[in-house]
Amino acid sequence: MYFNETQIKKKNLLAYSEGWISIGVNILLFGLKFWAGIVSGSVAIIADAWHTLTDSVSSIIVLIGIKVSKKPPDKRHPFGHGRAELISTLFIAFFLGWVAIHFVTGSIEKLRHHEPADFGTVAIIVTIVSVVLKEALAQYAFWVGRKTGFKSMKADGWHHRTDSISSLVILVGILFGRLYWWVDGVLGLAVSIMIFYSGYKIMQEAASSLLG
């Protein structure tokens, strides 16, 4: 019994560590990306900044879900609160969908008005830093997920990875952004689609576990 309690404490500590590290790094990256997006006038980089901030929100939701799931069974919840962690994962998915829809409309407006972005050194450096840090966070979240068995850790890891991929796509696009005015708007749409898809996959897995 003591061994089991010790193992549970270790798992929760790992999950909390991942959550707080994720929150700190994502807030830092949000500030850097938002600044780079404003300086360059890029809707894609600003969308990517908000995608990064949603990672912090998702980490907070995950931490709350894990905390609630630890509560012992009671009269209203005779089988415990384990599904709270899955419900928190669903909230992440819905939030991602909302963010995706918001930036789809913003990107379409930019394309309609033929608004180019002025990509510069700041945008390039910030985007490279984002790719590296977000993939590192993804690997850490996947590792914690394997160690703890928490599905929300895996969801958080994929959230980090989609952010890393979207930043990588933007980095490639920056190289062509000076030649074609429409690159930023198209990249904004691409990032939005990736955000929406990651939300869909997370929701699909969580819903399947809840119904199963």
Mind listing the domains of the chain with CATH numbers?
A: 2-211 (1.20.1510.10)
Whether the per-residue pLDDT at 114 is higher than 80: the answer is yes
Tokens found for residue 181 = 């005015």
Mean pLDDT of 70-88: 58
Mean pLDDT of 116-125: 86
Q: What is the pLDDT of residues 137-191, one digit of tens each?
A: 999 999 998 988 877 788 788 878 888 888 888 888 888 877 888 888 898 898 8
Rounded (5°) CA angle 174-103-88: 115
User: Are the C-beta atoms of residues 108 and 114 closer than 8 Å to each other?
Assistant: no
- Residue 1's pLDDT is what? 45
- Residue 33's pLDDT is what? 94
Q: What is the pLDDT of residues 44-67, one digit of tens each?
A: 888 888 878 877 877 777 777 667
> In whole angstroms, what is the distance from residue 34 CA to residue 47 CA?
9
Sign for the CA dihedral angle at 83, 88, 91, 96 comes to: negative
CA atoms in the 13 A half-sphere facing the CB of 73: 4
> What is the percentage of the chain residues whose pLDDT exceeds 90?
20
Q: Tell me the pLDDT of the chain averaged across its residues.
A: 81
Kindly write down the DSSP assignment for every residue of 56-118, as one continuous string. HHHHHHHHHHHHHHTSPP-SS-TT-STHHHHHHHHHHHHHHHHHHHHHHHHHHHHHHTT----
User: In degrees rounded to 5, what are phi and psi of residue 183?
Assistant: -55, -45
